[in-house]
């Protein structure tokens, strides 16, 4: 069975999450520090091979009114940079409020601000991926 990779593309870090083989549960992976596009493609390509990933879901930022702003354009540019070289489907998922939700959940664990910053991006990626998996679930 294959897995789905969730990505929360940020200005400093790229949050990553991975589904279980059944496509039911998303779990955060360590984030990726933002590097050159080639380094990011290489890292993702290796992850795709080692984890048997067949699809990528990238969080697409939207304004609260549903419109797209400059952050969405950066995400679309990122998707364009990686899409042809990775050779697997890439879909987007509305990521409104996922960072706030992840921050709230992590702060409930009593993490310091420093530790929170290290985990927030991948926690957001896990929320984005979980929302996607829940929407695609045959049980819905």
Measured CA to CA in angstroms, residue 52 lies from 5, 33, 48, 88 at distances of: 10, 22, 6, 11
Residue 122 and residue 79: Cα distance in Å, rounded? 18
**pLDDT tens per residue, range 110-136:** 666 666 566 668 888 999 999 999 988
Q: Which CATH class is domain 3-136?
A: alpha beta
Return the minimum-mean-pLDDT range out of 4-13, 14-23, 93-102.
93-102
With b for 16 or more beta-carbon neighbours within 10 A and e for fewer, the 8-27 pattern comes to bbbeebbbbbbbeeebeebe
What is the DSSP secondary structure assignment for residue 56, as one 8-state letter? E
Specify the pTM: 0.85
**pLDDT tens per residue, range 52-79:** 999 999 999 887 787 888 889 999 999 9
Instruction: Give the residue from 1, 27, 29 showing the smallest Cα distance to 13.
Output: 29
Residue 94 and residue 53: Cα distance in Å, rounded? 21
Residue 74 and residue 109: Cα distance in Å, rounded? 31
Residue 129 and residue 41: Cα distance in Å, rounded? 20
């Amino acid at each position: 069975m294959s897995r789905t990779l969730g990505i929360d593309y940020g200005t400093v870090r790229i949050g990553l999450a991975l589904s279980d083989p059944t496509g039911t549960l998303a779990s955060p992976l360590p984030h990726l520090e933002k590097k050159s596009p080639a380094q990011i493609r290489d890292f993702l390509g290796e992850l795709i091979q080692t984890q048997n990933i067949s699809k990528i879901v990238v969080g697409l930022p939207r304004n609260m009114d549903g419109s797209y702003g400059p952050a969405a354009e950066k995400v679309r540019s990122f998707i364009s940079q990686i899409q042809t070289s990775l050779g697997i489907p890439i879909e987007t998922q509305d990521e409104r409020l996922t960072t706030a939700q992840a921050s709230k959940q992590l702060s409930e664990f009593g993490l310091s601000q420093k530790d929170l910053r290290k985990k927030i991006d991948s926690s957001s990626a896990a929320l984005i991926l979980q929302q996607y998996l829940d929407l695609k679930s045959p049980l819905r």
